[in-house]
Chains A and B, each alone.
Chain A
Amino acid sequence: MNNKLVINYTPGPTFLHKLTGFTKVFSFLMMTVAIICTYDIRLLIPLLIINIFEIISMKPDYKPIVIMFAITFVTVTLIGNIMLFVVSPNVGLNNIGAENIIWHSTGRLYLSKEFLWYMLVVFIKRTASFASVIAFALATTPSEFASGLNKVGLPYKVCTIVSLAYRTIPDIANDFINIRNSMMMRGVELSKKASLWKRLKNTVLILVPLIFTAFGKVGSIANAMDLRGYGKNKKRTWYAEREPSKGDMVIRALSVVLGLLALYYIIRYRIIDPWPAKMWCPWVKYEDVIQINQIDTIFFMKWFKK
């Protein structure tokens, strides 16, 4: 199962790997905030490049990453955009506030320059987000993830859930595979040979023993934790949370700067002097933007208007 995973249970050797859990979780949070709060391609592209550099610096095994990216690309971007083109060819107008049609079919389908721009921005944004998650997953071991979450303020009991879940995943995956095999020997058909209805019903036969096996371990794990003083105090320390190095301080400081920049951007360009549309576009001038209420664009809103 391990060769399928992007996340590593053992820490790697590069600079980013060696940062502490807190640094990793905190910088990931700031990065996520920055990516989520903006639709401005002038900001998104640098963020994407930073994350790609982070990934490259860790010298990962690219195969699973490329596969996952391809799957995400096909399901989210490709299929999503085809649906978008069919359902809402006017997203360009809705989000950018202008429309320069470059192709028109006989029906209601048409393609605008703004539609293409919208596609590009959303693609860059999603890819930046994807890259930041991959960078975080590559850099962080589950223990560091748990200790880092605690240090950014999550209660430690929730953090234990995170690390314990990682601890039990390989065991449960094994149980799952064994139970499925034994059911197959008894004649339970799960492949497409059986009808969908049959397959749904057959899944019950696997899930019931799996649930009993998995939750049957709760008592002994809880005892093992109680006997070693889990929950004794309001706080706890973490073996996985190493002492911060100079590198940690630099990354933490940069993350704070990134967070502040995002905040400044929101205040300056979204509140004080907002761009009239959701997305900035190089060929659309400020005064030409047509403002459209997003809610009005939903298909069922038109029914109410009638």
Chain B
Amino acid sequence: MKEPIISFKNFGFRYKEQKNPTLFDINLDIYPGEKILIIGASGSGKSTLCNCINGLIPFSYEGEITGSCTVNGIEPRSASIFKLSNYVGTVLQDSDAQFVGLSVGEDIAFAMENDMIPRADMLPVIERNAKMVGMQDFIDKVPFELSGGQKQKVAIAGVFGNDVEILIFDEPLAALDPQMGMTAVELIDDISKESGKTVVIVEHRLEDVLHRPVDRIVLMSEGRIVADMEPDELLKSSLLKECGIREPLYITAMKYAGCSLEGNRNLCDLPSLEFTDDNEKKLREFFTMSREPVKENENETVVSFKNVTYSYSGDRNELDDITFEIKKGERVAIIGKNGAGKSTAAKLLCGIIRPASGTIELEGQDIKNMSVKEIGERVGYVMQDPNQMIVKDIIKEEVGLALSIRGVQKETAESQIAKVLEICGLYKMRNWPVDAISYGQKKRVTVASMMALEPDVFILDEPTAGQDYRSYTEIMKFVNTLNKEYGKTILFITHDMHLAIENTDRAIVFADGNMIAADKVFTVLADEEIIKRASLKQTSLYNLAVKLGLDPESTIQHFIEYERSVKENE
């Protein structure tokens, strides 16, 4: 019997600033060479748990520790974080914040610099580690030239500088687009296999992590471990839903088709999954059932781009000859990797930048002669990070800011604010401080602050980035209400495939400054070429269709429609 490398016994932790403990009764053994996934919703204590392993608790976060925890035979609370950093390497969620050096080489060297290793001895280690993550040709590159995925690779190479035994990945997928996320999962798996190191992944995006196998999944909820089992077992149980974790799409599809989850081999890995005959039959039947044709949106056009070209520096077109129309009340996903042109298109629509040629119309009116302020009364742009938008301390004041800036009369403003707060479900909280509410609620405040001017079109920039399933559901439910009940047109700038599938009618896809598709979501997601160019990833529905020999497009369409009818009846 091997000794565990990480061992928690009746462990508990309470942050100094908080009344109640964040972790209770943690009993967990992790053995050398294992690959473990710790999963849980925000606030479940999963990040706190990994901070107990790497020594940030109690080094950076003071609090009260009960029970025992040993890492490689030492107690983090009696050793320094520096001693622990010799054994534990942590790749943080925010790969941009983790990148403290001014070049790839310098960042990989950071730990060695602090260890006072002479420069000559660093060079071979940097080369070796950069090669391991595939960044050997980028050693002199500065962080501003790298993508999120590349920064994360550097972060991995950087913690390897210590030659650690345990690698912790804290929400490694949060900041990556789907394709980069997939690459990251593959890289983590390769490292774990080749180096034989112990790997602990903390995530809430189960399906994406399961792209490569893990040995065990530890499910956390409200500070406790509620499950510690093999992936197949966990998928079969009902625990995921109870703990606010989204199950893989193909599992949802199986449930919709009335399949039993028992008896299928390799349930956690779609390519090698073997359905029972009964299940396979049910799935085929489900996906080939006849259904009503989709209703076309025949409303008038609210947004139109006609041959729009934009160039920042003059030598390259950031957007090249873009033409599309958006109808009133549509929900549209604007998809593409960073720098593909989707943010540029949004900025053009807001009038922050102006096209070199072509016209942009809002409700049939050319925006050329409108000021940013005037456009702001028709288009509400909601930034990704609510903290970048919120100024005032009280919700009511924040929502009324745009009105007070415009010098709207007090009574008119008050009634308008009350109306908006009511629509956004914030009326009861109107006198609450903005900093005392959840992320999802803050998002609602930022939307409400735009609503005050009654725009018809909303642009939501990555509204669900970094959010767990619960917060995601809360935000999307609210946005869908705005769409259905108030007829608002909603544009999502997003990487999130689930968001596109569940909440949009159409997708406009950008790649390298060109619009490569503007079509129904299921048509776009079934097109392999588009998926690749937009740095998306095949959904498991696509793979399921291929596995069953069905047409992917109609399979995804069927799933979407079925799901919407389920949601409507809820």
Pair B372/A184 contact, Cβ less than 8 Å:
yes
User: Contact flags (1/0) for B70-105 with A, using CB distance below 8 Å?
Assistant: 000000000001100100011011101111111101
Among B102, B376, B449, point to the contact of A142 (Cβ < 8 A): B102
Residues of A within 8 A of B449 (CB): 186
The total of interchain contacts (Cβ-Cβ below 8 angstroms) comes to 169
Residues of A within 8 A of B144 (CB): 2, 9, 170
Interface residues on B, range: 35 or more
- The answer to whether A222 has its CB under 8 Å from any CB of chain B is yes
- A227 and B56 CA atoms in complex are apart in Å by 7
Pair B102/A187 contact, Cβ less than 8 Å:
no
- The answer to whether B387 has its CB under 8 Å from any CB of chain A is yes
Pair A167/B143 contact, Cβ less than 8 Å:
yes
- The answer to whether A197 has its CB under 8 Å from any CB of chain B is no
Q: Which of B109-117, B281-289, B522-530 contacts A (4 or more CB under 8 A)?
A: B109-117
- The answer to whether A205 has its CB under 8 Å from any CB of chain B is yes
Residues of A within 8 A of B85 (CB): 227-229
- The answer to whether A189 has its CB under 8 Å from any CB of chain B is yes
- The answer to whether B152 has its CB under 8 Å from any CB of chain A is no
Nearest-CB distance from B120 to chain A (Å)?
Answer: 7
Docked complex: B128-149 residues within 8 A CB-CB of A: 140, 142-144
Pair A185/B381 contact, Cβ less than 8 Å:
yes
Among B92, B122, B373, B383, point to the contact of A178 (Cβ < 8 A): B383
Quick one: which of A164, A167, A213 has the most chain B CB within 10 A?
A167
The A interface, classified by DSSP as helix, strand, loop or mixed, is helix
A226-B81, A237-B116 in contact; A184/B102 too (CB < 8 A)?
no
- The answer to whether A235 has its CB under 8 Å from any CB of chain B is yes
Among B103, B113, B380, point to the contact of A238 (Cβ < 8 A): B113
Pair B82/A232 contact, Cβ less than 8 Å:
yes
Residues of B within 8 A of A185 (CB): 350, 352, 372-373, 375-376, 379-381
Pair A179/B388 contact, Cβ less than 8 Å:
yes
Q: Which of B196-204, B399-407, B492-500, B543-551 contacts A (4 or more CB under 8 A)?
A: B399-407
A178-B383, A185-B375 in contact; A167/B401 too (CB < 8 A)?
no
- A9 and B145 CA atoms in complex are apart in Å by 11
Docked complex: A220-266 residues within 8 A CB-CB of B: 220-233, 235-243
- The answer to whether B334 has its CB under 8 Å from any CB of chain A is no
Quick one: which of B82, B89, B90, B102 has the most chain A CB within 10 A?
B102
- The answer to whether B206 has its CB under 8 Å from any CB of chain A is no
Docked complex: B383-409 residues within 8 A CB-CB of A: 383, 385, 387-391, 401-402, 405-406
- A54 and B313 CA atoms in complex are apart in Å by 30
Nearest-CB distance from B334 to chain A (Å)?
Answer: 17
- The answer to whether B468 has its CB under 8 Å from any CB of chain A is no
Residues of B within 8 A of A32 (CB): none
A187-B376, A243-B119 in contact; A228/B159 too (CB < 8 A)?
yes
- The answer to whether A216 has its CB under 8 Å from any CB of chain B is yes
A182-B388, A216-B387, A238-B119 in contact; A231/B372 too (CB < 8 A)?
no
Docked complex: A6-21 residues within 8 A CB-CB of B: 9-11
- The answer to whether A51 has its CB under 8 Å from any CB of chain B is no
Pair A233/B389 contact, Cβ less than 8 Å:
no
Pair A236/B92 contact, Cβ less than 8 Å:
no
Pair A186/B401 contact, Cβ less than 8 Å:
yes
Pair A228/B110 contact, Cβ less than 8 Å:
yes
Quick one: which of A204, A238, A241, A242 has the most chain B CB within 10 A?
A238
Among A189, A223, A238, A240, point to the contact of B373 (Cβ < 8 A): A189
Pair B376/A233 contact, Cβ less than 8 Å:
no
- A209 and B391 CA atoms in complex are apart in Å by 6
Among A11, A186, A227, A231, point to the contact of B376 (Cβ < 8 A): A186
Pair B376/A184 contact, Cβ less than 8 Å:
yes
A9-B102, A223-B56 in contact; A237/B118 too (CB < 8 A)?
yes
Quick one: which of A166, A171, A229 has the most chain B CB within 10 A?
A229
Quick one: which of A3, A222, A232, A239 has the most chain B CB within 10 A?
A239
- A236 and B101 CA atoms in complex are apart in Å by 14
Among A179, A226, A238, point to the contact of B59 (Cβ < 8 A): A226
User: Contact flags (1/0) for B1-37 with A, using CB distance below 8 Å?
Assistant: 0000000000000000000000000000000000000
Among B93, B113, B162, B453, point to the contact of A237 (Cβ < 8 A): B113
Residues of A within 8 A of B56 (CB): 223, 226-227
Instruction: Output the nearest chain A residue to B452 by Cβ-Cβ distance.
Output: A186
Among B82, B94, B99, point to the contact of A229 (Cβ < 8 A): B82
Pair B119/A237 contact, Cβ less than 8 Å:
yes
Contacts A9-B144, A225-B100, A239-B126 known; list 11 others, CB within 8 Å. Answer: A11-B140, A167-B143, A178-B383, A178-B388, A189-B373, A226-B56, A226-B59, A228-B114, A232-B82, A232-B115, A233-B114
Report 21 cross-chain contacts, Cβ distance below 8 Å, ordered by A residue.
A167-B143, A185-B350, A186-B402, A186-B453, A187-B376, A187-B402, A187-B405, A209-B390, A212-B387, A213-B385, A216-B387, A225-B100, A226-B81, A227-B54, A228-B110, A229-B115, A229-B162, A232-B114, A235-B116, A239-B126, A240-B106
The 7 A-B pairs with the shortest beta carbon distances in the complex, nearest first, are: A185-B376, A239-B109, A229-B114, A228-B111, A220-B97, A224-B98, A186-B402
On A, residues with C-beta under 8 Å from B are 2-3, 9-11, 141-143, 163-164, 166-167, 170-171, 175, 178-179, 181-182, 184-189, 202, 204-205, 208-209, 212-213, 216-217, 220-233, 235-243
